[in-house]
Structure formats: structure tokens, C-alpha cells
Amino acid sequence: VPDGAFYCYECNAKSAAPDDSADSFPSLGPLSNKLKRTNPHAFALPSDIQNHFEGVSARPDGSYSEEVKKFPLAKNSGYGYQRPEYTKLIDADHKVILCTQCGGSSGNKRQMLRCDFCHAYWHLDCVDPPLANPPHISLEASQRDAWRCPRHIEHDLRSGLLLQNDLSSKDGDSEVADAAPVVRVPRRVRVRKQPEYVESTFSRGMRNNGLIDITNDPDDDTDGEGNYVFGDNESKDVNSKIFRVPEERLILDFVSKVKSGRVGKTVEARQAAYTASRRRASMQHFIAYPFPQQQAALALAQLANKMPETNLGEGKVHALILGLTSEAPPAVSSAMSNADPPPPSAHERAHLKMLQKLIQGRLASPSSFTKNSQVLYPTVH
């Protein structure tokens, strides 16, 4: 019974005289009498749900309770308990303490935390998200809460952002590239207290829901597609099982992922280099045109960019140029015909000089000309 004044509806109902007023309300009368004889209490889930997942339990009053691993604090020689030292440089084995993320030491001023599960050290500002202070420890506490570093998957499982695969669905393997994506709701992933472990046989690529147990056991129990083969009396709820995956498979998947990323970067670099070379060649081809044509082309390009609704693509621009050329007035046609030719390019000038040398050589020796002699002239582009 709680301390202080406490009104118990159950005790009051036992000592009170029977109330017959509720008989006049046959619909809500029994419910009202039941409420008068029941003490209020917090909502509680059934016991099979309360004790279904690891690290979760219920208090005696039925409220939610999350189990946190505790570590005892060392006793001081005087009074109280010794707090952890966050700025030390050497551990108990006389090894230098370095941060797993940046590789630096505490420098006697930057506080570092030690993971209680993998024994890795982290600066407070190297943790993602960064920590302003170490985990709080009260002055009267004889124990401290365990701290888990960001390298553990438990943070991802508890983040509520994971899209877990539903292995119990029948159409889980029927997804194709052009089909609509399967809608998956982000959720918190928890491990059941008494899961059924499944020994997989497929070395790599086995579908799972994220709950795996890494082991070096080579025994396998799956079919050729990497899926577990159920017996006649086994449960078909695959989400209640934890798959044991050999460590070698994870290493091979990691190496394949890294290689595919490098290949993708190489392809992107080649595509960027090819695009840059095409751009340079197009620019050189553009510079070879006369200045008036360059001005006209730039004006059309600016018009197409400023007014995209005009739909001035490459074909439309060529059609516009041909239309203007065919319908040009006589004054424009005569001006274009009497205009001086454009200056030759360096490539064309070199071919013209070679042709000039051949002509001069033939004119210098007319007696050596025969009927069957052949002269090869260079092709002028």
C-alpha cells in the first residue's frame, strides 16, 4: 500500500452496503458498479508480450522497463566510490590509449570513453553524435550504466529508421526492376528472448531481416536459393528466427561492395573525361567558323536558353537556318556571294602548301611526264 492517504475502491466496496440503484440502468449499471470496485492502475500488456523481446521487461505495476547492463564502481580508499578516469594516457596493461576514430590520445585534457562491449576508446567529440559530457554517474551510485560505442549494430536496430525485410511474405522474391517498389515501414528491430536459430547453407546473398548471429560454423540448412527449408511441424514465421552467418561471408560481401564502388567511380571518371573531350572538340569546331556565324549561333543558343517554350533544339535551329537561306532577299544573296571567303584553317593551309609543292615539282620537269605516270594528290578537307 502506498504511503500517505490512499483511498481503496476495493476495500470500500467490501464494507459498503449493496447499491441497487444500478438495476434501473441495465445497459451501463453493471459497468458503473465494476468501476466503483476497481482501483485505477496503469495500462499493462499481457505477460507473453511483456517478456517477448530481449532487454525489455515489466515492473511489478506493469509499466515498461528497459534492462540496462550495469558495471560496479571501484571503491575508494577513503569514502565512496571511484569515478572513471577519462583523460588517462595508458591503460592497466601499460598500452597507449588511442581514439578509434581519429587515432589521437587524450592529451590529458580531451576526455575519452571506453566501450564496455568491444573495449574501443573514443573521444567525446569523435562520437556520432558528439557528446558534451561523459554518461552521468550520481554521487551515491555504486554502479554505472554500460556504454556502447557507435560501431555496434544495436544503435541501428534501435534507431527506428530501418526498413526490415518481411521474410514471411510470399512475394518477397518476386520484385523486378520495372515493378512498383514494395512499401516498407521504418521500425525498431528487437531480438526475441527465445529465438529459433537457423543454420544457413548458402554462402552469400541469403535474404535475412537484419537479425543475424555471426559464427564460423560451416553447417548449412538452406535450399539452393539461400532460403531456410521448413519442416512440416516448423513455424513459417521467419521473422522470429536468427540466422547464423559465417564471418567469411561478411568479409566477402564487404570486399565485393568495395570493388563495385571502385568500378563505379572509374566508370564515372571515364564518362567525365569523355564528356570533356567532346566539349573541347565541339569548341574547336565552333571556333573554325567565321565570326558572323559564331555570333548568329550564340544568339540562337541564348534565345533557346531564355525561352525554353520555343523548343529550339538542334533540328529546329538547322531548319530555321535553311529556311532563312532559301528565302533570303536578292541583296543578301548578292552580298553573301561577293563576300570574301573565310581565312583557311591551319589544317587546310598545310594541305594547300603540300599541293603547291607538288604542282611546282611537276611544272619544273615536263619532260619526265609519261602517259602512265600517276600523281597522288592529297585530299583537302
- On the 0-12 / 13-18 / 19+ scale of CB atoms within 10 A, 243 is buried
The reported pLDDT for the residue numbered 217 is: 46
Instruction: Decide: 237 and 168 in contact? Cβ < 8 Å.
Output: yes
CA atoms 104, 106, 111, 113: torsion sign: positive
State residue 127's pLDDT score: 92
- What is the DSSP secondary structure assignment for residue 292, as one 8-state letter? H
- Spatial contact of 203 and 233, defined as CB atoms under 8 Å apart: no
Q: How much is the CA Rg of the chain, to the nearest whole Å?
A: 42
Q: Which stretches in the chain have pLDDT values below 50?
A: 173-174, 176-177, 217-218, 223-227, 369-373, 375, 377, 380-381
CB 113 within 8 A of CB 124: yes
Predicted local distance difference test score (pLDDT) of residue 371? 47
Query: pTM for the whole thing?
Result: 0.43
120-146: per-residue pLDDT in tens? 999 999 998 899 999 888 888 888 889
Q: What is the reported pLDDT for 108?
A: 86
Q: Could you tell me which of 181, 214, 220, 179 has the C-alpha nearest to residue 202?
A: 220
Tell me the torsion sign for CA atoms 121, 125, 131, 135: positive
Residue with cell 531564355: 306
Measured distance CA(135)–CA(234) in Å, rounded: 45
Q: What is the pLDDT of residues 313-331, one digit of tens each?
A: 555 666 666 566 656 677 7
123 Rama class: left (phi>0) / alpha (psi -120 to 50) / beta: beta
Read off φ and ψ for residue 37, nearest 5 degrees: -105, 5
Rounded to whole angstroms, how far apart are CA atoms 134 and 147? Answer: 10
Dihedrals phi, psi of 85, to nearest 5 degrees: -95, 115
Domains by residue range for the chain, with CATH:
73-150 (3.30.40.10), 289-324 (no CATH)
